[in-house]
Structure 1
């Protein structure tokens, strides 16, 4: 399975991957959003290029209990996380190359670099609190 469409029955699968210090790339989207539907093809292509990463499609309305008060300003929004560290959280352009560059840049960093960056700004500290999928999955 290239992309895990998150539903109420597979939260633990994603939590297990993150608990094992694995990488997850989640697209936060909405079923009504035309841009999200268009982006799905790019997201699938990205997943095909990175089989070592778990990709997840999260409809923020269907999974409102999980997403909670996480502020999604625009679609599509990517959340990239390794283990307990949110490495990226923000809207992305529809261009597959941009998402791939973001992912590759994050994956090239050591755990120490990721941890240092996680606390390097107010925005990144907020990602750790509000965007952490592992914590949200455990608490939900």
Structure 2
């Protein structure tokens, strides 16, 4: 079953995809239907729609600068964290790319740049959700 609310993440789900948005944001509201459709296309990935204002306590100090912001994790490795154009085809391609990596490739990718190493420390949403 796909999750569209910020609930504890099933540790059995290898991938976790979160859209960090706000209800007042028209772009977010428009993006949600396509995001939910992607969840149906990737049934082995966990998806969450997280309203950063309603669930500020869950996301802690994760810094969202613009909308929609997408966070993609493979287990504990944050593979992507950032604002995306509201084009679902772009997110689909990202998900296909990460799904094609081996777990070792994903781990190396997650640690390959200073920015990505910072994501591991500051944007691990799985860890934050488990803590709450």
Q: TM-score range by the shorter chain?
A: over 0.9
Q: Tell me, which stretches of 5 or more residues in structure 2 are unaligned?
A: none
- For the aligned residue pairs, the C-alpha RMSD in angstroms reads 1.3
1:3-18 alignment runs, 5 A limit:
3-6=3-6, 10-11=7-8, 14=9, 17=10
Which runs of 4 or more aligned residues in structure 1 lie more than 3 Å from their structure 2 counterparts after TM superposition?
Answer: none
Do the aligned partners of residues 57 and 80 (structure 1) sit closer, same or farther apart at CA in structure 2, a change above 3 Å counting? same
Instruction: Give yes or no for contact 2:18–2:70 (8 Å, CA) kept in 1.
Output: yes
TM-score by length of 1: 0.88
The equivalent residue for 2:93 is: 101
The equivalent residue for 2:126 is: 134
Q: Tell me, which stretches of 5 or more residues in structure 1 are unaligned?
A: none
Task: Report the CA distance between 1:21 and its aligned residue.
Answer: 5.2
1:30 equivalent among 22, 37, 51? 22
Instruction: Give yes or no for contact 2:4–2:36 (8 Å, CA) kept in 1.
Output: no
Number of residues of Structure 1 aligned to a counterpart in Structure 2: 132
The equivalent residue for 1:2 is: 2
